[in-house]
Amino acid sequence: MGAATDTGQAGASAELIFSGDELLRGDTLNTNQLYLGERLLDLGIFTTHALCVTDDLRALVEAIRSSLGRRPAVLVLSGGLGPTEDDLTREAVAEALDRPLEHREELLEMINARFLARGLPMGESNRKQAFIPRGATAIPLTGTAPGFYTQHGETLLVALPGVPWELKQMWEETVEPLMHTALERQGEQHTQSVRRIRTFGIGESMLAEMLAGFDWHDPQATIGTRAHLDGVTIIVRGQAAPQGQRKLDTVQTRILEIVGEHAYSTHGEDLEWLVGGMLRRAGLTVGVAESCTGGLVGKHLTDVPGSSDYFLGGVTAYDNRVKTAVLGVPAQMLVEHGAVSREVAAAMAEGACRLLGADCALSTTGVAGPAGGTDKKPVGLVYIGSVVRGVTQVERHQFPGEREHVRERAAFAALDLLRRRLLREVPA
């Protein structure tokens, strides 16, 4: 693996090529790009190009040759390794590298064994999947599509299936260990280190103002941001050598001082994992009472393996009759303040604590849209209630976006409210 020479980036660079008409039509969301970009960045390798290419041999060959001409340390291809006529990655790589395809009997046997294990006969079309370019090394199967890798000059070329779970397993079990070894051989001077500071409750524009004192383009500590529904991640990149690490330590410390409790992780943890760990360490239990989020808060909490240690259950109280009959929200309170109100959010959280016998509770009630908003209670208005050891607190939020965005942001905001309260009110 070599260093980038013409991209303007310090250290090793990567390029990504994704094949598939379904990606270009928008039929399939390209989650592989997000995954690979983040995994490469964790290795200290910055992705400079990412391209989606139609299922056409000439277009694929040209894309591969163009990428190889820039001499990235890594070129990752995703998709086009299946058995159909429009799966052309093997042929494109062979032509771009001027290496013939070779039949690998052991691959054919493995593919056949996969089908037999499922009680199915292998189709004749699957035989093409046992061919890979001469000199390439096959990657052990995760599905029925073999991946492969080969070195071409300074570039490690890796071809992976487009199916996300197959790609991820091949990457984590084969490709990433291979790249770790290559990076260790070349030493730290050409590699980068990455720090990720995950934040919630503060937007990119406000972060830009708060961090205006930094040189975002400093090659020793380059700063960038990535906004998502679970908050904004501040990404700081610099050299992996000891002097570079010291610079990154200094910058990270200053950023954490500036953003304060908005920062919830420097090690990549998701909010639900972080909150779950805090509850488990404190020996506390939690329940939820959800209206506008329709169960999303409970879903995120139970996404964590072992969440039964602290999550007791929840009530999806969409109708006011459920809020009253199950959670004990006073009917008069609903009449006077409406379902979307600070008072009802508090009563819902308190009702969940009583009903479930939980130490903590979260509640959500709001206007997710697209209809139902008024001047006083517009679409995106959400009240989030919380109870921690008998003390109730409610926050008011106005979330932007479409219905699903409002609901997801509200669910993450509920988790973040509980995180901040546990941080302040529960001894570590």
| 156, part of any domain | yes
Quick one: average pLDDT of 243-249?
Answer: 94
| 319, part of any domain | yes
| 376, part of any domain | yes
pTM of the complete model beyond 0.85: no
Cis peptide before 121 (omega within 30 of 0): no
Q: How confident is the model at residue 264 (pLDDT cuts 50, 70, 90)?
A: very high
| CB environment 115-133: b (16+ within 10 A), e (fewer) | eeeeeeebeeebebbbbbb
Evaluate if residue 8 carries a pLDDT over 90. Answer: no
- The total number of structural domains that make up the chain: 3
The DSSP secondary-structure symbol of 426 reads S
Q: Are 227 and 257 members of one domain? A: yes
Q: What percent of the chain has pLDDT over 90?
A: 82
Q: Are 34 and 143 members of one domain? A: yes
pLDDT at 428: 72
Give the CA dihedral 67, 72, 73, 75, nearest 10 degrees.
-20
Helix ranges (DSSP H) in 317-359: 320-325, 331-337, 342-356
Question: The domain containing residue 200 runs over which residues?
Answer: 192-265
pLDDT digits (tens, 9 = 90+) for 23-44: 999 999 899 999 999 999 888 8
Q: Are 177 and 222 members of one domain? A: no
Quote the CA–CA distance of 126 and 142 in Å, as a whole number: 15
Q: Are 311 and 200 members of one domain? A: no
pLDDT at 3: 39
pLDDT at 187: 57
| 403, part of any domain | yes
The closest alpha carbon to 198, from 271, 303, 279, 302, belongs to: 271
β partners of residue 138: 148
Beta-carbon-side half-sphere exposure of residue 407 (alpha carbons within 13 Å): 17
Q: Are 42 and 178 members of one domain? A: yes
C-alpha R_g of the chain: 26
Distances (CA, A) of 127 to 106, 109, 157, 221: 12, 10, 23, 49
Evaluate if residue 188 carries a pLDDT over 70. Answer: no
The CATH code of the domain that includes 324 is 3.90.950.20
